[in-house]
Structures are given as C-alpha cells and as structure tokens.
C-alpha cells in the first residue's frame, strides 16, 4: 500500500526525496514548521539594523544606547 509510505515518520524523508535532492529532510521540516528553509531566515536582516548614530531602540543619540545595546533590548 503506497499510502502507508506517507505516514508521519516518513513524510519529511519522502518530501525531501521528491524535491530531487534540493531539500534535505531538515529543510522540509523547517519549511513546514516555520515556512522557511532555515530558521536563520528569520534572523533580523542586517538592513534592519539601526543607522549609525541611532540606538537599537530607534532613537537618535539615545542617552541609554549602551544599556539598550547590551541588554539585547
Ligand atoms: Zn535606546
């Protein structure tokens, strides 16, 4: 019964194979779970980082910039 191959434990393996080697099982899992191939795709885009002179909180010349930077905001 071919349908049995699609049980949960085989699902990512089968989808990975179906991708022709483009995706690993982990990629498939991440795509299904997070909607992206790698969790790193959710990391903040470097373009989103504050401009020079601006604090991570978005304020220019923020008096608490050091605290904001180091506290992780
Ligand atoms: Zn700040």
| Together in a domain, 51 and 24 | no
| Together in a domain, 22 and 56 | no
Distance from C-alpha of 55 to C-alpha of 40, rounded to nearest angstrom: 23
Q: Report the domain count for the chain.
A: 2
Q: How far is the CA of 66 from the centre of ligand 1 (A)?
A: 8
Q: How far is the CA of 49 from the centre of ligand 1 (A)?
A: 13
Global pTM?
0.40
| Structure confidence at residue 63 as a pLDDT band (50, 70, 90) | very high
Which residue segment(s) compose the domain that 56 sits in? 45-73
Q: Which tens digit of pLDDT belongs to each residue from 12-58?
A: 888 899 999 899 988 888 888 878 766 665 555 555 666 788 888 88
| Together in a domain, 23 and 51 | no
**Residues paired with residue 60 on neighbouring β-strands, in sequence order:** 54
Q: How far is the CA of 17 from the centre of ligand 1 (A)?
A: 48
| Together in a domain, 29 and 58 | no
Q: List CB contacts of 57: < 8 A, sequence separation 6 or more.
A: 64, 65, 68, 73
Q: How far is the CA of 40 from the centre of ligand 1 (A)?
A: 25
């Amino acid at each position: 019964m071919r349908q049995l191959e699609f049980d949960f434990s085989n699902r990512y393996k089968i989808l990975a194979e179906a991708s022709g080697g483009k995706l690993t099982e982990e990629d498939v899992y991440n795509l299904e779970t997070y909607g992206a191939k790698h969790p790193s795709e959710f990391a903040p885009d470097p373009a989103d980082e504050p401009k020079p002179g601006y604090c991570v909180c978005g304020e220019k010349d923020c008096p608490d910039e050091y605290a904001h930077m180091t506290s992780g905001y």
